[in-house]
Structure 1
Amino acid sequence: MQLGVIGQAVGLFAVTNIDDIVILALFFAQGAGHPNTTRTIAIGQYLGFAGILVVAVAAAFGATFLPSQVVPYLGLLPLALGVKAAVQAWRHRRDEEDDEGTGGGAPAFAAVAAVTFANGGDNIGVYVPVLATAGAAGMTVYVVVFLILVAVWVAAGRFFATRPIIARALSRWGHVVLPVVLIGIGLLILAEGGAFGL
């Protein structure tokens, strides 16, 4: 039975977090050449995902930290971070030769955590019924598997960002793609949730 739950947890995590690998690769490209980038991104990813799990587990037990009408406004986090990244890229556009297109500066763990949490806001709605019906033992398995897979996702993001062809593309275009992706995620979350009547 536990093997079946583990398989379901792996599948659920993969399906709901596939887009995070792209975002993580972009963060790794942004932090290329800066010390402690992997640790910073891993801490941010774990903090953001821990926030998602806390809300999902609490909701599965009947507590609602985040009213459903608030969830769409989580899109404001990646939107604001995307605008900030775009402004930084614009300011450092002349430094591309020196910075290899990174737009200057490694990502802060708080920014990674905010994007992870906001991007996973819609995952909460998927996780809650699954966790609520899994029972205490099943819920523990889901949480443990999810936390292990966060490390796998960070490693995958780093792997993709360090492949020569991908690394060159991210180095050249990452400072443009990151703001576009973050703004797109923010707008998508806002629109899908019906925020501001979108």
Structure 2
Amino acid sequence: MQNIPLVTMLFIGVNLDFFVILLFLLQKYSFKETLLGYELGMLFVFGVSALAGQLIQSFIPEWGIGFLGLIPIYMGIKGEADDDEETTSHSRKGIIAVLLMYLVSCGADNIAVYVPVLATMPSTSIIITMIYFIILTVISLTLAYFFGQLPIIKNIFERWGAPLSRIIYILIGLFVMIDTGLIKHVIQLV
């Protein structure tokens, strides 16, 4: 790894906003489900950035990525799933929900930030950086878990967690659609 402070700041910078979302996700899904979804999302984004970040920008206009914003909006409108579903099904749904939330809220921005940094690294440094990011993901999720266990935070989530998370999902979706220029593009078409 070329520069530990640089890649540490890179990870923190692109995942800081997701830390707040982790607080909500940990109230809804188990630590294991959240960890697996978060790790899979981070690894996917990292892999795309390291291998094909430039190609994505060539084939898909930035505004096209904005359609991904519909996923958290749907999750926010739909709300809670039925509680009588099987545990394994719920577990998979939790992992997929966290994965999708990470990809939608962080994917495009993280790719845009990762690509220039990773493009300057040799292959061995990229692999070491990926392993380092896996460790940082576990650390950030653990911090979010313990922060979410503080009595005042726990009380807020118990009382307002479900409606707040639905609102946040919808806002994330709208932000993605605005940030990628999708809404501006649609307005120009009309």
Same fold, TM-score > 0.5, yes or no: yes
Matches of 2:140 and 2:73, distance apart in 1? 22
Question: Are the aligned partners of 1:79 and 1:185 in contact in 2 as well (CA < 8 Å)?
Answer: yes
Question: Are the aligned partners of 2:43 and 2:130 in contact in 1 as well (CA < 8 Å)?
Answer: no
Q: Give how far 1:63 is off.
A: 4.1
1:193 aligns with 2:180: yes
Number of residue equivalences: 175
Counterpart among 33, 56, 60 of residue 49 in structure 2: 56
Match of 1:109 in 2: 95
1:76 aligns with 2:70: yes
Question: Are the aligned partners of 2:77 and 2:170 in contact in 1 as well (CA < 8 Å)?
Answer: yes
Alpha-carbon distance change, 117 to 6 in structure 1, aligned in 2, over 3 angstroms = same
Deviations 1:92-149 (A, max 9, x none): 9xxxxxxxxxxxx887111010001111121111111110012223322321221111
Matches of 2:156 and 2:125, distance apart in 1? 42
Question: Are the aligned partners of 1:78 and 1:115 in contact in 2 as well (CA < 8 Å)?
Answer: yes
Under a length normalisation based on structure 2, what TM-score does the superposition of the two structures give? 0.82
SS at match of 2:60: coil
Matches of 1:131 and 1:77, distance apart in 2? 28
Question: Are the aligned partners of 1:6 and 1:145 in contact in 2 as well (CA < 8 Å)?
Answer: no
Identical counterparts, % of pairs: 29
- The 10-residue stretch of structure 1 (106-115 or 13-22) with the greater mean CA deviation from structure 2: 106-115
Match of 1:38 in 2: 31
Deviations 1:5-58 (A, max 9, x none): 111111011011111111111111224xxxxx1111111111111221121111
Match of 1:149 in 2: 136
**Structure 2 unmatched runs, 5+:** 84-89, 186-190
Under a length normalisation based on structure 1, what TM-score does the superposition of the two structures give? 0.79
Question: Are the aligned partners of 2:73 and 2:171 in contact in 1 as well (CA < 8 Å)?
Answer: yes
Match of 1:183 in 2: 170
Question: Are the aligned partners of 1:78 and 1:185 in contact in 2 as well (CA < 8 Å)?
Answer: yes
Matches of 2:56 and 2:18, distance apart in 1? 25
Matches of 1:63 and 1:194, distance apart in 2? 19
Match of 1:99 in 2: none
Moved over 6 A (4+): none
1:118 aligns with 2:104: yes
Matches of 1:116 and 1:160, distance apart in 2? 19
Match of 1:137 in 2: 124
2:21 aligned partner, one-letter code: I
